[in-house]
């Protein structure tokens, strides 16, 4: 019944996408100006697609789930059906499409049965009570032996080593200390996506679920001080594997895997956020290498890092757009502070200053200023053949970064849910614990349902990536997981009441850290418009050709 219902809603989504394709295209290709006229519809289409994909993932794993997870999946599917119908009604109205089939779905017995089973107050309150009884231990997924062992080991490390330091790092705005970094080096966390042949721990076949599980475990203790440390080497390693010379792979990958040097990724510029094709940092050819001039911003971990992956415009012809970009590896000393200055013998300089932020503290994001900073030819990824391929190499790296960010969101959701459960048990209001009130139980049920659905989707996409597909779905998993992390952490803070607003409670950190997830590794709007919706529209155009 539910599969048929999702199928009918999916058909209406396809109808909306086909209409968008017709209105955004010129001569069989997307016209950017026409596409901009339909941004709202495109954004909503991406969100509906993400919700439906997560719902389908829940159904696909339904038989393998335990009873609690099955009921949580049912609650998520019921909620996603209701919200997706509402969004599609707005999309259809905005595009001037007939909403008759959507109204028929709302009036159907299948819709009424799903709402009655998965969204009734009695079902949700009972579900929330069961989640509390299980202490938030839910969302089981299939992992191979290696991934399960890694998840268990890093969970212990996160609980015993990271968590006791997390609050100080956040509240005092400290840099991630060596007391965390060195054990993580020894545990091989920086080489999870690097093949064994190059000094990492990845086998002949990638194990993306392992990386997601480790990321989730570390992020549950601290997003900034642990969970995000994997992202930078993940992106750079994938870029090197995709386009680096053999000499570069053998030079850099073993060092990256060992965490020496630590890495940072420098893409964003003051005037260009997610618009990678328009980046302007100049690389001018000189004897033996390139001189970099210009600015970058939001370069996370740039101070502590000894190696920066810098996306640079090496072709002065700006009309070439993304085809004029290359990726250069910039070496620098590692520093602990919030400012640094690197001066080269030839007069070049690189200045960095940390950007004060409301959360995500520990790694620090930097503004960077390059002035005649020399980078040797050997540090152009791909060498001569890598010139002009910077955009593609960056995108190769970002696929891993996006599914890894979904893992980070899972960790924050898990931490938020457990904190909410613990506080709801202890806190008494009007003579009884919060956990015994229906509204609290329903909140906890919906939080847990969203976590289970996002976890199912993320690990499903991880497996598809290892099989050679799933690159577009990685963006979908990132979109819905990061949006969900905001919702779950917000509700967790709300359950804490006034204490949730106090810095002494970890839930305040979870909430403020969750806010950054929908901004970095591809801003929510860019992912929705330029990646997810565009991919759906491109597919519709090809199908209609």
Per DSSP, 501 falls in state G
d(CA 19, CA 16): 5
- Which tokens belong to 268? 């964003």
| Contacts with 183 (C-beta within 8 Å, 6 or more apart), sequence order | 157, 161
CB-based burial, 119-142: b 16+ in 10 Å, e otherwise: beeebbbbbbbbbbeeebebbebe
The half-sphere exposure of 401 on its side-chain side, counting CA atoms within 13 A, is: 23
Per DSSP, 269 falls in state B
What is the enclosing helix (H) or strand (E) of 406? helix 390-426
Q: How many CB atoms sit inside 10 A of residue 297's CB?
A: 18
The three state secondary structure string of 358-384 is CCCCCCCEEEEEEEEEEEEHHHECCHH
Per DSSP, 195 falls in state B
Q: How many CB atoms sit inside 10 A of residue 74's CB?
A: 21
Among 473, 486, 521, 524, the one annotated catalytic: 521
Residue where the block lists tokens 């920086």 = 190
CB-based burial, 406-432: b 16+ in 10 Å, e otherwise: bbbbbbbbbbbbbbbbbbbeeeeeeee
Cβ-count burial of 310 within 10 angstroms (0-12 exposed, 13-18 middle, 19+ buried)? buried
- Which tokens belong to 331? 């070496």
Nearest by Cα to 145 from 63, 207, 217 = 207
Residue 521 is among the residues annotated as catalytic for this protein = yes
Backbone angles phi and psi of 270, in degrees to 5: -55, -35
Cβ-count burial of 100 within 10 angstroms (0-12 exposed, 13-18 middle, 19+ buried)? exposed
DSSP 277-338: GG---EEEEETTEEEEEEEEEEEETTTT-SEEEEEEE-SS-GGGGGGGEEEEEEE-----SS
d(CA 481, CA 514): 10
**Contact predicate 362/222, CB 8 Å:** yes
Interaxial angle between packed helices 208-221 and 390-426, expressed in degrees from 0 to 180 and rounded to the nearest 10: 50
Catalytically active residues, by annotation = 521
């Amino acid at each position: 019944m539910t599969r048929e219902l999702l199928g009918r809603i999916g058909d209406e989504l396809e109808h909306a996408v086909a209409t968008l394709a017709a209105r955004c295209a010129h001569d069989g290709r997307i016209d950017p100006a026409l596409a901009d006229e339909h941004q709202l519809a495109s954004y909503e289409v991406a969100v509906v697609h993400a919700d439906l994909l997560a719902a389908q993932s829940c159904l696909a794993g339904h038989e393998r789930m335990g009873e609690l997870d099955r009921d949580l999946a049912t609650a998520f599917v019921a909620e996603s059906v209701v919200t997706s119908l509402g969004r599609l009604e707005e999309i259809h109205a905005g595009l001037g499409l007939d909403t008759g089939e959507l109204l028929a779905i709302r009036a159907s017995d299948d819709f009424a049965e799903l709402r009655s089973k998965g969204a009734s107050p009695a079902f949700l309150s009972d579900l929330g009570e069961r989640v509390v009884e299980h202490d938030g231990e839910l969302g089981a997924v299939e992992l191979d032996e290696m991934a399960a062992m890694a998840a268990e080991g890093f969970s212990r490390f996160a609980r015993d080593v990271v968590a006791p330091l997390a609050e100080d790092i956040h509240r005092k705005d400290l840099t991630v200390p060596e007391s965390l970094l060195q054990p993580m080096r020894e545990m091989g966390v920086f080489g999870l996506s690097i093949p064994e042949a190059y000094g990492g721990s990845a086998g002949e076949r990638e194990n993306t679920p392992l990386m997601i599980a480790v990321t989730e475990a570390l992020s549950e203790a601290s997003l900034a001080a642990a969970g995000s440390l994997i992202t930078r080497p993940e992106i750079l390693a994938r870029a090197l594997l995709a386009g680096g010379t053999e000499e570069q792979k053998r030079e850099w990958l073993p060092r990256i895997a060992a965490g020496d040097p630590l890495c940072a990724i420098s893409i964003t510029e003051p005037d260009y956020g997610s618009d990678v094709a328009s980046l302007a940092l100049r690389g001018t050819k000189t004897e033996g290498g390139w001189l970099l001039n210009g600015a970058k911003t939001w370069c996370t971990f740039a101070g502590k890092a000894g190696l920066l992956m810098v996306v640079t415009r090496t072709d002065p012809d700006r009309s070439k757009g993304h085809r004029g970009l290359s990726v250069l590896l910039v070496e620098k000393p590692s520093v602990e502070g919030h400012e640094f200055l690197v001066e080269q013998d030839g007069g070049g300089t690189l200045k960095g200053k940390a950007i004060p932020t409301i959360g995500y503290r520990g790694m620090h994001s930097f503004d960077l200023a390059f002035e005649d900073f020399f980078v040797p030819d050997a540090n152009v990824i791909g060498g001569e053949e890598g010139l002009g391929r910077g955009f593609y190499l960056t995108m190769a790296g970002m696929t891993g970064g996006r599914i890894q960010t979904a893992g980070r969101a899972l960790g924050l959701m898990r931490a938020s849910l457990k904190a909410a459960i613990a506080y709801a048990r202890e806190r008494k209001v009007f003579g009884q614990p919060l956990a015994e009130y229906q509204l609290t139980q329903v909140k906890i049920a919906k939080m847990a349902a969203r976590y289970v659905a996002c976890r199912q989707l993320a690990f499903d996409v991880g497996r598809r990536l290892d099989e050679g597909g799933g690159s577009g779905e990685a963006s979908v998993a990132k979109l819905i997981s990061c949006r969900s992390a905001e919702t779950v952490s917000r509700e967790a803070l709300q359950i804490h009441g006034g204490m949730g607003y106090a810095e002494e409670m970890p839930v305040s950190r979870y909430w403020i850290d969750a806010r950054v997830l929908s901004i970095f590794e591809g801003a929510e709007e860019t992912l929705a418009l330029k990646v997810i919706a565009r991919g759906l529209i491109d597919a519709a155009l090809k199908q209609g050709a």
